[in-house]
Amino acid sequence: MGNISTSKVQTGDYQTFFYEAGEKTAQTVIFLHGSGPGASAKTNWEGVLPAIGEHFYAVAPDLLGFGDTDHPEEYPENGAKWMSARVDQIISLMDTLEIEKAHLVGNSLGGVISLNLLMYAPERFNKVILMGAGGGLTEPTPELGKLANFASDPSPVNFKNLLRWFLYDETFLEAELDKIVAERMENFNRPEVRRSYAANFKNSHLSDMLVPPSALKRMENEFLLIHGHEDRFVPLESSLYVMKYLQDAQLHVFKRCGHWAQVEQKDRFIKLTTDFFNDEL
């Protein structure tokens, strides 16, 4: 990852690993990744952080239970407690890095965490981008079911299928797909990562991910929602549901795009993000 550095700092009782780009004197943008097998800040954001770092101070942590952040010895009992632990993680990271206020970019699970952060500490956040984000009232898709149950049969074939389903057109990454599968499987097969993944989904339910309309209506932040029209993991209906209740929001929908807008629509995603945080959108 060019022009990117990594650090690990204390956040509560454990250390959080994160990537950073840009100058610390610039506006801060915190990027929160999703929850697929082998997910991490690197796998989610490596293609866009260098460009974002030209305009902002970009911080992308590995969420608790993923990547190179310390893994719990005792896991949260349910999805609600996982969520609280991750909200605490981000607030603690901001305190440690002396970030008083930040913009947020949340993908999938990271989008749900972003909304929970706004319920927990609204004064700490400015503008928010939700990309392929959960939080809305939608039934889980078969693809999401396969993702949640991946630890039951974590084969490279099953993982390659999952990655294909993330994309509208897998030929876009066909030459790199086997390499991505190998890298993420290597990460996933670390015992602590595999245990955390299984624990994360074992006692979590879709209801843990829903954000009440009463909470959404009270959010005064300015939102940009980005969604792939063909997203099969978090359908577009989730963003439409959230959009119905947010007071200050706009929605950008990409045709011919699945769950990873930052990959399939990389240049447009970077421009949208930069313009939005620079008050040009």
Could you state, in order of their start, the residue ranges of all structural domains in the chain? Answer: 5-277
92 is catalytic: no
Burial zone of 269 (CB within 10 Å; 0-12 exposed, 13-18 middle, 19+ buried): buried
Q: Is-catalytic flag, 259? A: yes
Percent helix, strand, coil in the chain (nearest 5)? Answer: 45, 20, 35
Tell me the C-alpha distance between 197 and 5, whole Å.
Answer: 26
Is 57 in contact with 22 (CB distance < 8 Å)?
Answer: yes
Output the pTM of the full model: 0.96
**Residue 281's pLDDT band (boundaries 50, 70, 90)?**
low
Summarize the confidence of residues 86-109 as an average pLDDT: 97
Across residues 44-48, what is the average pLDDT? 94
Sequence-ordered list of residues with C-beta below 8 angstroms from that of 128, at least 6 positions apart, any chain:
103, 104, 105, 106, 114, 118, 221, 222, 223, 224
| pLDDT of 271 | 97
Percent of all residues in the chain with a pLDDT value above 70, rounded to a whole number = 99
Annotated catalytic residue within 103, 231, 238, 239 = 231
Are 130 and 239 in contact by the 8 Å Cβ rule? The answer is: yes
Indicate whether 2 pLDDT > 70.
Answer: no
CATH of 5-277, one of 3.30.9.10, 3.40.50.2300, 3.40.50.1820, 3.40.605.10: 3.40.50.1820
**CA distance readout (Å), 44 to 23, 62, 139, 245, 247:** 21, 10, 24, 28, 28
Each residue's pLDDT tens digit, 224-272: 999 999 999 999 999 999 999 999 999 999 999 999 999 999 999 999 9
Asked if the model's pLDDT at residue 39 lies above 60, the reply is yes
Q: Which of 55, 103, 227, 259 is catalytic?
A: 259
Q: What is the pLDDT of residue 184?
A: 87
CA pair distance 166, 204, nearest whole angstrom: 21
According to DSSP, residue 135 is labeled -
Tokens for 119, please give them: 């319920």
Catalytic residue among 35, 40, 108, 196: 108
Structure tokens at 249: 């929001």
Do 235 and 138 meet the contact criterion of CB atoms below 8 Å apart? yes
**Mean pLDDT in the chain?**
93
Is 231 among the residues known to form the active site? Answer: yes
